Structure 1
Amino acid sequence: MQQLRSGAARVPLWLAFLLATLVSLVAQPPAHAAPAAQPFRVLALYNGTWDAAHISFVHEANSWFPQQAAANGFTYTASNDWNLLADGGVDGYQVVLFLDDLPQSAAQRAGFERYMRNGGAWIGFHVSAFTTDAQSWPWYHDQFLGSGNFRSNTWGPTTAVLRVEDRTHPATKNLPATFTSSVSEWYSWSNDLRQNPDIKILASVDPGSFPLGTDPGQTWYSGYYPILWTNTKYRMLYANFGHNAMNYDTGTALSSTFASATQNRFLLDGLKWLGGGPSTQPPSDGISETSWYTLRNKGNGACVDARAAGTADGTVVQQYACNSTTAQQFQFRATDGGYLRIANRGGPQPVVDVTDRSTADDAPLQLWSWAGGTNQQWLPVREADGQYRFSARHSGKCLTAPGAATDSARLTQRTCDGSAAQSFRLTAQP
C-alpha cells in the first residue's frame, strides 16, 4: 500500500491558476452602475403683482412645473428677483422662463441679452412679449422675439384650435396637426413674423377657430395669428398663452393654462429640447407615403381629378364623379416641416400646384412638375371625423371644392374657413 505523506498535498499547476483566478474574481468589488444624467436647471422669473389673470397663471406655473420636474429630468426654481439677470445669477441655469413680465432695468436687459448670446435658453409666456414701445428695447422686441409692438387682443379668454406648422421641431414633433389649446387671451403684433427669416412659426390660429373671442369689439374673425414660435439664432420659444379666465370680482380663476394635455406636451418637449433632454419620434398622421388615395369632398361627394387623365404641366385639377381611375389617385410625399407634395398616379412628376404661385382667393389648381415650390406643398390637417383639409405652404389657404357636385368644375385655394368644401375623405386604393 502506498504511504500517504503528511502535510499539504501538491496541487497541479493548472488547477492552482484556476483557483487563483476564481478567488480574484470573487474579491473584485461590484461594478457600479453608470451615474444617472444630471437634471438640467430651470429658473422661472415672475412679477406676480398685476392683473389677477396673470397672477393666477404664475401660481399655477409655480405648482405645475415642480410636479413635472423629476419625471422629466429637470429642477425648477421660481424667483421674483429679476436682478439675477443683472449679476450673473442666471448663469447656473440651463433654461430661464419669463412667466408674466420682462426685464425692466438696463442692467437686467443687458444681462439677459448676454445670457442668450452666450448660449442660454429661454421660454417666454404671453405678457413677456407685451410692449407698445418696441424701440425702448429693440434687440428684444424686434430682433429676438421679432414681434414688435402689441397690436390687439381677443376678449374674453377662450380656447383656440391651433394648427401646428412645423412638426419636425423638437418642441412640436409629438403634437397632432391641430389641437385645442387651453383658455387664454390672445395677442397680435405689429410685425408680420412670416416675413422674418430668423423666425420659425411653430403653430398659429387655425381658421376653424374663428370667430375667436366673446366680445364683438375684441373678436378676431379672420387673419393670420402666430401663437408659438422660435428664433433660429437663439435657443428660445415663445408661447402666446398664460392668461386665465377670471371672475375679477371674487378673484376666482375660471380656467387653467395647464388644462390641455397636448399644450402641456409642447411645454415639456420644449423644455427638454432647450435643456438638453432626450427627444422622441413624431407621431404618424395616418397618411402613408407609399399608398395611393382618392380624395372625396365632404360637401358635394365629388372626387379630386386630373382633367382627362392628363399628366402634362398645366393639367387642370378639377372635381368629377368618383370612379377610382388613376386620374383620381394621389400620393402624399413628405417635404419638410410637416408639409407634403400631392403627386398624381398618372405620372411620376406632376403634383398639385397653385397656378402662378398666386396667394389670392380662387386661384386655380393645376398639375405641374415637382420643382420644390412652396405653392406645391400642402399641410394636412386631420379633423375630428378623420377627414382632412390641406393648406398651401406659400399662402396658408385651403384646397377648396365648389359647392355643387358639378363634373369638371375646377378646384381652387381659398381662405381656410372650416367648411365642408375644404374637407376631404382619403380612401386608400389597391
Structure 2
Amino acid sequence: MLRRALTYVSAALLGVTAFLVTGPPAQAATVLITNATQFTDSAGAVVHAHGGGVIKVGSYYYWFGENRNADNTFKAVSAYRSTDLKTWEFRNNVLTQASDPELAVANIERPKVVLNSTTGKFVMWMHKENGTDYNQARAAVAVSDTIDGDYTWKGSFRPPTGTTSRDMALFKDDDGTAYQITSAAGNADLQIWRLTADYTAYASLTANPWAGAFREAPALFKRNGVYFMLTSGNSGWKPNQQKYATATSIAGPWTAMTEIGDDTGYGSQTTFVLPVQGTTGTSYLYMGDRWGNSMGGAVNDSQYVWLPLTFPTRTTMNLPWYPQISIDTESGTVTGAGGGPYYNLAARHSGKCLDISDNSAADGAVALQYTCTSGINQQWRLKDTGNGYVQILAQHSGKCLDVAGNSTTDGAFVNQYRCTTGTNQQWQFQDQGGGYYRLVARHSGKCLDVKDASTTNGARLIQWPCGTGTNQQFQRRAA
C-alpha cells in the first residue's frame, strides 16, 4: 500500500514446488484478465488478497493477502487457490483476530508465505502494527503444517538493530536460504535480512544498498542468475513512479534504482512478482494493487493491476501497460492484450524507427532514430486529445512524446516525459501521401524532425519548421 503512515504492498519471489494438494485440480487453460478490476471467487464473493503474495504448491497457486473490515482494520489474512490465476477458490482465513491475543487489536499487512523444505513448515512473514497508529513498525511470523490451514502466531518483533520494519517481502533463494526485505529506518532504507534456518527469525543483515532512498513495496525475484528488486516510492496513498535495481549477488553490489513504467505504476503499487513456469518457459507477472484509499474508498475497495514484465536484456526490465492480460499457466506465458493498435514510426529518409534511447523509462529519456527492431521502446500507441491531435505513448514506459521544456524554438529536443495535459505532448498527423505523415506539435506548429536529416543510428529527434524534407515524414506501421 502506498503510505508513510498507512498500509503497503510488497512483493517477493516464492517459487515453491510441494505436494500437499487436496482434490484434483481443474485443467488450466488460457484465460483473459481485465486490469483495474476486482476478482470474485468461485462462490461469487469478492477476493480480498490485498498486499499479498502467491506460492505454488503442487498444481495450485495459493494467494494470501489482506482482508479488512469496513473501517480498514484487520479482519484476516485470507487464502485462495487457483490453477489458472483467474478462477479463485476461497480456502480459509488462515490468520484472524482470534488467532492470538496480540492480533485482537492489530493491523496486518503484506503477508507472504514460503515453504521451509527442511522443517516442512509453511512460514508467513508480515508487517504488524498496533491497530491505532503506525509507530509499532514490527515484523511478525506465523507458521502452519499445511498451506491453507490455520497459522500459529509466533509473535512480532523488530530487526536485531532495532530499526523499524514496515513494507516487506520474502524471498527464498535457490540454495534454500530465505530473506526478508523490509522498508526500515522510518522508510528511508530498504534492507535485506537473511533469516534463520527455520525461517522464523532474523539471522543477519545481508545488505542495505539504498540507504536514504525512501523506497517501499519491495518485490524481489531472480531470473537467469540476476536478482531484480522492484519498488515504489513513499507518497501516502497516491501512486508514484516505480523503480528497480539488479545484482548478480543478493549481497550486492546492487545498481542504482532505475525508473520503470509510467509515473504512477499505471495507478498501482507493487505487491508481488510471480514467476509463471510452464512447458515453454517462464514468464514474470507483475501484481499490483490500485488502492481503494487512493480512490476515496478503503482497502477492500482496491482493484488489481497485473501486467507482463518483459526483459530486453538479461539485466533490464520493462513494465508495459495493457488493459488486459492473457495467461496460460500450462505453457508459462503471460502476454498483454488489447489497448492497441501499436505502431512503429519509421522515418522516410532513413527507414529507421522512432526509438527511446537505451529502453529507458525515465522522464527526459532521449527520442532518437534507430534501426527498426521488435523492441517495445519502438512501439507507440495513440491517445486522442481532441481537435485532430493525439498523444503518442511509448509502449515500454507508458510515457509521452514531448517537446522538452514546452519550448517553441527551432531545434528543441523531443524526448519522452510523463504524460500531462500540455500541448507540447499533442501531435497532429498530417497526410503527406504514400502512407507517410508529418507530426506537428500543437504548441508550436513545428514538425517532428530527424536532426540534420541524418541517416545514422542515434540521430536526435527535434522540432523544426515544417517543410518538404523526408526527414520530417514518418510511416505509421502496425507493430
TM-score calculated relative to the size of structure 1: 0.39
Higher helix share: 1
Structure 1 or 2, whichever has the larger Rg, is 1
Higher strand share: 2
TM-score calculated relative to the size of structure 2: 0.36
